[in-house]
Chain A
Amino acid sequence: MARYGMVIDTKKCVGCQDCVVACKTENQVPHGYSRDWLAYETIGKFPKLNMEIRTERCNHCDNPPCVYCCPTGASHISDGGIVLVEHDKCIGCKACVASCPYDARFVHPEGYVSKCTFCEHRVKEGKDPACVSVCPTHCMYFGDFDDPESEVSKLLQERKYHAIIPEAGTKPHIYYLT
């Protein structure tokens, strides 16, 4: 069984937001909402500055509070560890929205909760998620962490990395190379 996740090279990311707009068109995300976004962190005093730019989204956690708190079972862990929401089961109670430390979920205007799916429909066809496939800097990698030979596994062996809010204990599956 695969365990999907992403590795993102912050050294290469320029924060252009191509990933955001590619997700919007691929998944027809309605105007005013988005499943992924950019974070910019600058530390220091001019001109001695350090800047990290990150593309962020649902971390498809191993220990996902959004799944545990869902009263209807709509939020669930699907094949490959992808955390999904079954629209027809969702009652829009927003418990999962509140539980997510990454603020990755929103209520779709059609009433159900929506978020990043790792483009499950593309992954099934053997393609990368839309955000990964469009990135002009090639800073995003998608793959199987259960396979030690996969590019994502190898990158984590070779480079320094961090995850976001690891202290929440959710066991996120998106890693940022620094």
Chain B
Amino acid sequence: MNAVSRRKFLKISAATIASATALGTVSCTRDKIKASAEKGIKTIPTYCNICFWKCGAIATLKDGELWKIEGNPVDPLSRGRLCPRGTGGIGAYSDPDRLKTPLIRKKGSKRGEEEFVSVTWDEALTYIADKMNDIKSKYGAQSMAAFSHGTGGKFLKHTLKAYGAKNIVAPSFAQCRGPREVGFELTNGNFIGSPERTDIKDTKCMALIGSHLGENMHNSQVQEFSEAIANDASIIVVDPRFSVAAGKAKYYLPIKPGTDLALLLSWMNVMISEGIYDKKFVEDFGFGFEQLAEEVKKYTPEWAYVETGIEPDLIRATARELAKNKPASFIHPGRHVTWYGDDTQRSRAIAILNSLLGNWNRKGGFYEPSKVSLPKYPTPAYPEMAYEKADNPGKKWPLLGDAEGSTTGLRDATITGKPYPIKGWLVYATNLIQSLPDERETIAAINNLDLLVVIDVIPNEIAGYADVVLPESIYLERHDEFNNAPFRQSFLSIRQPVIASPDDQKPNWWIAKKLAEKLGLGHYHPWKNLDDYLRYTSEKAGFSYERLKKEGVILGPKKPINVEEGATQDFWTKSGKVEFYSTHLEELGFDPIPKYTKPEQPPSGYFRLLFGRAPMHTFSMTQTNPLLSELMDENVVWVNNDVARQYGIENGQYIKLKNQDGIIGSKVKVYATERIRTDCVFMVHGFGHRSKALKSAYLKGGSDSLMVTKYKVDPIMSGTGMNVNFVTFETEA
């Protein structure tokens, strides 16, 4: 049995071939790594970065090579279990399409042609610093801007501020959860934040409005969702698509897209007219309840039926179910909520309903999170930046905060040169071609730039337009700032290198420090390295750095998270109360109580394009990860069976989508199904890559964002409603 068999021989030769092809050009570096690697099993804690939930994890190396990564049992976010993206995170290391060296756009080539030459870090950073100095002397520091997503952008933003630039924005606000935060803040003076402060595990009734937990794989939320199901909580799912969550629901409301606000107002009508809302909470903490009661009188379930297509009996039954279980019941505020351009008002309606349920800081409703506060590592003061931010001239969007900023506002400024020219973009870890609506405008803005720098781990579409592309080490190869996100119990978790970068990739903090040095701003990064920085701040906060390195996560003190545990209910609005009627909005010229407006309907033969998430992918960032792409290597377009029959489209057939502006997408497979309404289609976001450098994902699946040429801007805070595009089928694919 132990003699060398045919199979053993095959095994050896297959392994030899595999290593020869897989390692290819980088074999020298990897050999060096291997030579120094320790034999046996080694575990190193860190926190995940495949999405922005930042779960605590433990990576295992076998003989110096990455074997697996698992949840850190001490970590309150993962509770020892990662999601599929986290588990497949090690695939990011062996991603065949990773950026390997710094790149500068080939002389004479145009932006978007993806023609680059490899350069050294010194050449790349010198090029960037020279251009930044040019921009400063010609236009001023305000003309340099940044788009940054996630933890890693921190030190780059710091360098930019040291240079004097403050036009720094992220798509997580105007393209994602901005309306939710503004809507809740207007209503009860508290925002939702990330992770969402929803007590799913203790709830007795939860309504999801378009939010597809389970497909939307925010780890703690999904874990708690499963607990709620096990506890037999009533799940109410409102979605034009029979989502995975709908399959778990006691009540499924197949709503006509764009009419959610009608349903929400009608729920208010039922709760108030039947007197089943939390009267004591409203009496103790409410402001303007009488006006609300008067306003929603007209929004009967019969009225809402005409708008939403939901039977009046079902509207009443679900309103009563929510009320019956109060305060351990809530309407989930959602996360990606930029749908129709009136999203702040819809979020406000959700906040109002939650207040009618009296669930703020109540068990099974919302909870009071806490976080570890970290001291700042002392650095010199930033230069004075007295100029107005370019993304929101004249406070055009009155409730767009300076701290958040508007991506599309900054893009507008770059196109128009008003209020002043924007000439440089530094883009960190966000694929603006797919994350912002109407890529034609993004490209128009880019063509006005003197400098576009893209810092990322893979060459996504945006990198193809860059002047300089900087290859970042993946999360398993670098230090980053601690995670101290607000949660049920405060905690601190560390990200530290598990393995060396295989090529010439560098961590973001190193890039930020070296760029600062090139700009003569090195003194803003006084730490030797990030290890030094992390040690200083954690020990100042009273946490042992050595223990963090060893255990990955340290919990902070436990504080009461709801009234039941002794927490208070504080509302930081102007009136200090829950504002059913918003005088703040009224003063600004907006509706003080949300009003329903009918959504525009698709022309005949067109269908509303909806998009969402799949559990194994994050945006357009993971399609080349070999472990994750194996789970899903292309998206499909969901088409109702009856519609497919009517159009002569077969399940599994490849078609192309064409939108209302005549834009035609790449080939995408049809999923003909009962699981969606007949007036819309659905796609998972992030596929249909058109960057040739992403060889393993190139033109696989269809791009929803290519179809999003139209968007409706929320006049309150600049969110871009993107569910306003209509598509038809091109079957001659």
Contacts and interface: CB of A to CB of B under 8 A. Distances in A.
A156 B676 CA distance: 34
Contacts of B615: 14-18
Given A89-B1, A110-B11, A135-B81, A12 B230 contact: yes
Given A16-B214, A16-B615, A26 B68 contact: yes
A86 to B, nearest CB: 8
Contact of A90 (B7, B11, B214, B229): B7
B217 interface: yes
A88 B88 contact: no
Contacts of A111: 6-7, 10-11
B666 interface: no
A62 B445 CA distance: 66
Which of B2, B69, B226: most chain A CB closer than 10 A? B226
B70 interface: yes
A134 B6 contact: no
A28 B2 CA distance: 22
B242 A46 contact: yes
A137 B628 contact: no
B43 interface: no
Given A17-B631, A135-B81, A42 B87 contact: no
A136 B219 contact: yes
A134 B217 CA distance: 14
Contact of A46 (B11, B227, B640): B640
Interface stretch (B246-254, B326-334, B705-713): B246-254
A49 B7 contact: no
Interface in A107-137: 109-112, 133-137
A3 interface: no
A87 B5 CA distance: 10
Contacts of A24: 627, 630
B677 interface: yes
A15 B244 contact: yes
Contacts of A164: none
A166 B633 CA distance: 33
Contact of A47 (B14, B84, B88, B254): B254
A136 B70 contact: no
A25 B68 contact: yes
A44 B673 CA distance: 11
Nearest to A15: B244
B674 interface: yes
B8 interface: yes
Contact of A136 (B81, B230, B245, B246): B81
Interface in A40-87: 42, 44-47, 49-51, 53, 87
Given A46-B640, A109-B14, A136-B81, A21 B7 contact: no
Contacts of A47: 242, 252, 254
Contacts of B674: 42, 44-46, 49
A162 interface: no
Contacts of A50: 247
Contacts of A46: 242, 254, 640, 674-677
B519 interface: no
B564 to A, nearest CB: 25
Contacts of A53: 244, 247
A37 to B, nearest CB: 10
A160 interface: no
A137 B67 CA distance: 23
Interface string B207-251: 000000111010100110111011000000000001011111000
B247 A31 contact: no
Which of A17, A22, A88, A89: most chain B CB closer than 10 A? A17
A47 to B, nearest CB: 4
Contacts of A11: 229-230, 248
B8 A18 contact: no
A28 B63 CA distance: 14
A98 interface: no
Interface string A1-43: 0000000010110111110111011101001101000000010
Interface in B157-215: 213-215
A17 to B, nearest CB: 5
A138 interface: yes
Interface residues on A, range: 35 or more
Interface string B623-646: 000111011000000001000000
Interface residues of B, number: 54
B350 to A, nearest CB: 22
Given A17-B616, A46-B640, A88-B8, A25 B242 contact: no
A21 B244 contact: no
Contact of A134 (B87, B227, B242): B87
Given A17-B84, A47-B254, A88-B1, A134 B219 contact: no
A21 B627 contact: yes
Contacts of A133: 70, 81
Contact of B226 (A89, A112, A137): A137
B215 A14 contact: yes
Nearest to B7: A111
Interface string B597-635: 000000000000000000110000000001110110000
B631 A21 contact: yes
Nearest to B632: A17
Contact of A88 (B7, B68, B627): B7
A134 B89 CA distance: 14
B14 A110 contact: yes
A139 interface: yes
B694 interface: no
B83 interface: yes
Interface in B1-59: 1-2, 5-8, 10-11, 14
B630 A31 contact: yes
A110 to B, nearest CB: 5
Given A16-B83, A110-B14, A31 B676 contact: no
A88 B357 CA distance: 65
B323 interface: no
Interface string B696-716: 000000000000000000000
Contact of A14 (B68, B226, B242, B673): B226
A5 B373 CA distance: 47
B254 A134 contact: no
Contacts of A112: 7
6 contacts: A15-B214, A25-B87, A42-B242, A136-B82, A136-B219, A138-B81
Given A21-B628, A46-B254, A110-B7, 5 more contacts: A16-B214, A16-B616, A31-B626, A49-B242, A136-B219
Interface of B: 1-2, 5-8, 10-11, 14, 67-71, 81-84, 87-88, 90, 213-215, 217, 219, 222-223, 225-227, 229-230, 242, 244-248, 252, 254, 615-616, 626-628, 630-631, 640, 673-677
Interface of A: 9, 11-12, 14-18, 20-22, 24-26, 28, 31-32, 34, 42, 44-47, 49-51, 53, 87-90, 92, 109-112, 133-139
* Those 6 A-B pairs whose CB atoms lie nearest each other, nearest first: A14-B214, A51-B247, A137-B226, A16-B615, A47-B254, A18-B84
